[in-house]
């Protein structure tokens, strides 16, 4: 090989190590970038001329850079939509980036709701996931996560459990039961809220009448304005029944004579099952529910189901990526689940900028499922993954590359001195 080749070998070394220093510099610059994955410079030798029949080296080049998907440190933030993947996998986001609409992948879990209610990353790309319907069935195909439209469905009241004491010293009213005059024809009246199939609330009055000898009857009424064919301001009976007490105040038996309400525009014939607790006829003690003691009539407990529809007020994310919504009607339910993409070769993904990666022929196609499935990691909610750049290691590598750069420059200066010597032979 000639002295001139030595010059080019030195230049190749300078170029390769200069590029490698740029890789280290990029790592150091992104030491605080959430979810950033450091890159490693990989060198390849180059072949030059032939010496005594053997191919000689022609220097070095920077073959490629490899993304190192090592786990970064996970730190809590308290933001419910911040997410970190503890293990393999990447979040899938979709939208327009640099003029191209496509699916991208990232370890940056800084998510929030945009003005339209979609879960988005800092660049406005929409997080991909599975929706979960009110019955708990998850969709089969991931898509944009729209949380603004999620509501808790209305549930009609079907069960009304009440625990009371009915005053044994009370006497039978002088006048027969009259829904329009409950104050004078009933011994005790309390109220409850019942919901129809549309989630409309209806005030229901439950009146109790002492018929003597431990026998009581009860009547449930509501304003006719809320009933099909009802008259506003007129109490209309929707359920009735009886209770029988023993001489020790225990509840012997309870019956329901009728229960049917045709609430306005709602499902007709709504049945509310009134239950006044433990009774002897069904195997109870008769004293753990409604009783008849010589004490003022009063309600001690109620357990009434049904609710109005609810709007989403808060969300929380579980380790499997499922998103639980809390609604203003007191309900909570799983409404979505975050999708996690895995690749046969994560290192083959192409960097797109803004902490995004794109699929490539080297990475293979994404395999999308939920967190914790396959080799996918779990999600740490309310947390973010820090950059996996170790500054001490990067600085040591930087020094090594700098020394190699200086050594290659020495190769050039030495070859220059040799050429100068050769040119001076003529003098």
What pLDDT score does 420 carry?
Answer: 75
Q: Which residues are CB-contacts of 325 (< 8 A; sequence separation ≥ 6)?
A: 147, 150, 152, 312, 314, 315, 332, 333, 334, 335
Kindly report, residue by residue over 334-368, the tens digit of the pLDDT: 999 999 999 999 999 999 999 999 999 999 999 99
State the pTM of this model: 0.76
What pLDDT score does 54 carry?
Answer: 57
- Give the domain 159-304 fold: Tick-borne Encephalitis virus Glycoprotein; domain 1 (2.60.98)
What's the gap between Cα 334 and its chain centre? 8
Q: What is the largest CA-CA distance in the chain?
A: 143
More confident residue, 232 or 419: 232
Kindly report, residue by residue over 242-273, the tens digit of the pLDDT: 999 999 999 999 999 999 999 999 999 999 99
What pLDDT score does 46 carry?
Answer: 76
More confident residue, 406 or 95: 95
Domain residue spans of the chain: 3-70+388-424, 74-152+311-385, 159-304
More confident residue, 372 or 415: 372
What pLDDT score does 405 carry?
Answer: 85
What's the gap between Cα 233 and its chain centre? 46
> In the predicted model, is pLDDT for residue 174 greater than 80?
yes
| Locus of tokens 């006719």 | 224
Of the candidate ranges 201-205, 302-306, 403-407, the one whose mean pLDDT is the lowest: 403-407
> In the predicted model, is pLDDT for residue 37 greater than 80?
yes
Give yes or no for a contact between 165 and 187, defined as CB atoms under 8 angstroms apart.
Answer: no
pLDDT above 90 covers a percentage of the chain that reads 80
pLDDT band at 404 (very low <50, low <70, confident <90, very high): confident
| Locus of tokens 């002088």 | 174
pLDDT band at 45 (very low <50, low <70, confident <90, very high): confident
Give yes or no for a contact between 77 and 29, defined as CB atoms under 8 angstroms apart.
Answer: no
């Amino acid at each position: 090989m000639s002295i001139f080749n030595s010059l080019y070998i030195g230049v190749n070394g300078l170029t390769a190590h200069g590029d490698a220093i740029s890789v280290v510099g990029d790592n150091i610059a992104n030491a605080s970038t959430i979810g950033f994955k450091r890159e490693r410079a990989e060198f390849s030798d180059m072949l030059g001329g032939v010496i005594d029949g053997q191919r000689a080296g022609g220097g070095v080049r920077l073959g490629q850079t490899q993304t190192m998907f090592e786990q970064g440190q996970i730190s809590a933030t308290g933001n419910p939509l911040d997410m970190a993947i503890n293990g393999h996998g990447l979040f899938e986001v979709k939208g327009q980036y640099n003029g191209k609409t496509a699916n991208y992948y990232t370890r940056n879990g800084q998510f929030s709701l945009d003005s339209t209610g979609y879960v988005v990353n800092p660049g406005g790309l929409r997080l991909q996931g599975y929706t979960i319907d009110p019955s708990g069935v998850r969709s089969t195909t991931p898509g944009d996560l729209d949380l603004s439209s999620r509501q808790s469905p209305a549930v009609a009241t079907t069960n009304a459990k009440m625990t009371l004491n009915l005053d044994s010293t009370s006497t039978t009213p002088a006048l027969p039961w009259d829904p329009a005059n409950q104050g004078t024809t009933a011994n005790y009246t309390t109220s409850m809220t019942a919901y129809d199939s549309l989630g409309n609330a209806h005030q229901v009055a439950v009146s109790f009448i002492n018929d003597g000898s431990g026998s009581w009857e009860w009547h449930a009424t509501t304003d006719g304005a809320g009933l099909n064919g009802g008259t506003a301001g007129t109490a209309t009976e929707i359920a009735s029944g009886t209770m029988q007490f023993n001489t020790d105040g225990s509840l012997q038996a309870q019956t329901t004579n009728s229960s049917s309400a045709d609430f306005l525009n709602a499902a007709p014939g709504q049945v509310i099952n009134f239950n006044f607790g433990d009774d002897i006829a069904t195997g109870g003690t008769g004293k753990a529910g409604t009783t008849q003691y010589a004490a003022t009539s009063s309600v001690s407990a109620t357990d009434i189901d049904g609710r109005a529809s609810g709007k989403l007020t808060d969300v929380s994310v579980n380790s499997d990526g499922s998103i639980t919504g809390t609604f203003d009607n007191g309900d909570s339910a799983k409404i979505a689940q975050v999708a996690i993409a895995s690749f046969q070769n994560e290192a083959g993904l192409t960097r797109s900028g803004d902490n995004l990666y794109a699929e490539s022929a080297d990475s293979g196609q994404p395999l999308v499922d939920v967190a914790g499935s396959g080799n996918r990691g779990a999600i740490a909610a309310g947390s973010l993954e820090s950059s996996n750049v170790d500054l001490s290691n990067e600085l040591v590598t930087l020094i090594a590359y700098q020394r190699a750069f200086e050594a290659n420059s020495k190769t050039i200066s030495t070859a220059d001195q040799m050429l100068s010597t050769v040119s001076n032979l003529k003098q």
